[in-house]
Amino acid sequence: MKNLFYKPKGAWAGDFIPYYKDGRFRIFYLHDWRDKENHGEGTAWYQVSTDNFVDYKEHGEMISRGKINKQDLYVFTGSVIESDGLYHIFYTGHNPYFPQQGKPTQGVMHAISQDLEHWIKVEEDTFYSPNDIYEIHDWRDPFVFWNEDENEFWMLLAARLKEGPSRRRGCIALCASRDLKKWEVREPFWSPSLYYTHECPDLFKIGDWWYLVYSTFSERHITHYRMSKTLNGSWIAPTNDSFDGRAYYAAKTFSDGEKRYIFGWNPTKEGNRDEGKWQWGGNLVVHEIIQQPDGSLSVKIPDTIDKKFSICHSNTFDILEGNWIIKNKEIFANAKDSYAYAIAGDMARKCKIEGNIAFDENTYSCGIILRLQEDMDSGYYIRLEPKHNRLVFDLWPRKGDCPFAVELERPIRLEAGQPYNIKIVIDDTVGIVYLDEKVAMNFRLYDFPKGKWGIFVSEGTAKFDNIGLWVE
């Protein structure tokens, strides 16, 4: 059975670089074997394409790794742009052994193609940090676009200043070019003294607003965005300045001319265990971006993925605990000073759970149970927590007295009496929950590969409407 969320066979994917041409998204990515002994060191650029985010065609390797004496032993992130009928990739050449030889770790490199399939490296176009205001070794993730107002190409880079507190030197450097060959290094595009670095910068415009996207690992691993009416700033932080949570990183965007999508990766965990550490790379996850009336952004499930699940598999419940009333497709639970739950059938390996949830005032939490075990006590939980205005993914029981995953939560204003549409998509170990087309949260499920699903209320009253599990 193929993966709904793309991952190459025998390898992992990270840092997706989307491009759109002739009705298909051409998605480049960093291909990581995690097997130096058999596949050598470094990452290469590979490509897949899709017109529906469900079926993917593999195109193989696009930019190969250089040898150990080359700048691009690791072919890291960049961007794709077309100019005068020729396609250009600007990417990061990374060689961790070069500093020992007095050379920069990273440089911006160039490749060209006439068909998006066959790429030729233009090594003479490689350029480095000038080592004046910018540190020499952090010079990566070039994003190139045509600036109509200035009549020149601009390149944004993840870079670091040479001066200032070490963990706040991160900036987005700016370079400019007329011909995509010679680049003038300029003052930073944005230097807010916030993070160690701003990885994988991305920039786009919807209506009157410009959006600057970047990823950080200083205070938490997450993809942020800022908004401005001009490229000169100032760059405003919205109330919720991210698209997803901890399990979604290095996300970049592209448009098909009508809708804009964001492409990130859901990381795996060491040892394929819930308690394992997060790893670099994993599966591709795509969200559709929605602009709100105030200019802020939210995300929703792409329509093609949503419609993929068309068969209702289970929508009847057995009451196991608490006071429940079931009327057709409406299910009411009253557990004002206790816990109540009801269980439906077994979960399919690949499925979608969808429905509407409303709660009364003073409700502590309510939500969905995933992969509940035979002991009726172990499983995963998606919780709406009105008192904390957040959506949470959690594991029960936990080991010890530590939270399962502090960063697997999303802020959202939750109001009593308001129905919230919830959609949860699961494929094997990858999970995503969308709430009311306002927030999304990726997560992983390892320790319990099978189980039942259900609904619950803790210390409150809630109504579940038209809720069920759907399969392909």
Write out the residue range of the structural domain in which residue 443 sits: 311-471
Residue 279 has phi, psi (to 5 degrees) of -110, 165
Mean pLDDT, range 370-378, rounded to an integer: 94
Asked whether residue 56 falls in the same domain as residue 123, the answer is: yes
448 within domain boundaries? yes
Partner residues linked to 18 by β-bridges = 27
Same-domain status, 166 and 221: yes
Closest CA to 251 of 229, 279, 225: 225
The pLDDT tens digits for 292-316 are 999 999 999 999 999 999 999 878 8
In a domain, 2, yes or no: no
The domain boundary, picked from 255, 281, 306, lies at 306
pLDDT at 426 over 80: yes
Cross-strand partners of 170: 160
State both tokens at 281: 């790379």
Token pair belonging to 118: 């066959």
- Give dist(CA 214, CA 469) in Å, integer: 35
If one counts the domains in the chain, the total is 2
pLDDT of residue 47: 99
Whether 414 shows a pLDDT value over 90: the answer reads yes
Q: Return mean pLDDT, the chain.
A: 96
Residues 92 and 198 in one domain: yes
283 in Cβ contact with 8 (< 8 Å): no
Q: How many CB atoms lie within 10 A of CB 311?
A: 10
CATH number, domain containing residue 423 = 2.60.120.560
How many residues in total does the chain contain? Answer: 472
Q: What pLDDT shows up at residue 218?
A: 82
**Per-residue pLDDT tens digits for 429-442:** 999 999 999 999 99
Same domain, 73 and 208: yes
Q: What percent of the chain has a predicted confidence (pLDDT) above 90?
A: 92
| C-alpha torsion sign, points 45, 49, 52, 55 | negative
Structure token pair of residue 258: 């009508």
Q: What is the mean pLDDT of residues 324-337?
A: 94
pLDDT of residue 407: 76
